[in-house]
Amino acid sequence: MSVNPIPTVSISASGNDTICPGRSATLTANTSAANYVWSTGATTSSINVSPASETNYTVYASNGKCSDSAVTSVYLYAPLVVTMPNDSICLGKTGTVSVNASGGKPSYTFTWNNGLGTGTGPFNVNPSVPTYYVCTVTDGCAVSLQPVPLAPTTV
C-alpha cells in the first residue's frame, strides 16, 4: 500500500488580482501536485485569463487519489469616467475650469489644451474670444478620455 501526501494548493495572480479591461493575468497553483484541473478546463499549473467581468477561478490539484482545491477572483478596474463641473463661461468674465476623474486605474494624468497645466484645476480663465477648454485624462490602464469641452457663452 502506498501513502500519497495530500497536496495543499493556493492560487497566486501575477502582479495583482485586479487587471485592466482587455488585459490578462497569470494564475498559478502553488503546490507540488501531480495533476491540475482548472475551472476553465486547463490542466497545467498556470493559466492566463482575460475575463470580461469579475470572475472566480478554481483549481483542483491531486496526487493520485488525494486532492485539494482553491478559488480566487480576478477583478477588472471600473471604466474611467471624466466630467467637467462647469458647462460654460461668459466671454470677458473670469471663471474656473476643472475636471473630475473616477474609475479606471489610478493614477491619472491630466493634459489641458490652452496651456492650463497638468492637474485637475480649478484654473482661472478669462476668455476674450470663444475658446474650448479640453482636458485629456489618462489612467494607469492607458485609457484616455475627454469630457465634453467647456466653451464660453456670448451672454
pLDDT tens profile 72-102:
999 999 999 999 887 778 888 888 899 999 9
Q: What pLDDT score does 155 carry?
A: 44
Decide whether 10-76 matches 81-153 in CATH topology.
yes
pTM: 0.76
Task: Determine whether domain 10-76 maps to CATH 2.60.40.10.
Answer: yes
In angstroms, the first-to-last Cα distance of the chain is: 92
pLDDT at 46 over 50: yes
Question: SS3 letters for 11-78?
Answer: EEECCCCEECCCCCEEEEEECCCCEEEECCCCCCCEEEECCCCCEEEEEEEEECCEEEEEEEEEEECC
Q: What pLDDT score does 153 carry?
A: 56
Domain positions in the chain: 10-76, 81-153
Average pLDDT over residues 59-84: 93
Average pLDDT over residues 19-44: 93
pLDDT at 149 over 70: no
pLDDT tens profile 108-136:
999 998 888 889 999 998 888 888 888 99
CA distance 64 to 139: 47
Q: What pLDDT score does 36 carry?
A: 95
Q: What are the backbone angles phi and psi of residue 76, rounded to the nearest 5°?
A: -115, 145
Query: Three-state DSSP class for 115?
Result: helix
Q: What pLDDT score does 148 carry?
A: 67
Q: What pLDDT score does 122 carry?
A: 92
Task: Determine whether domain 81-153 maps to CATH 2.60.40.10.
Answer: yes
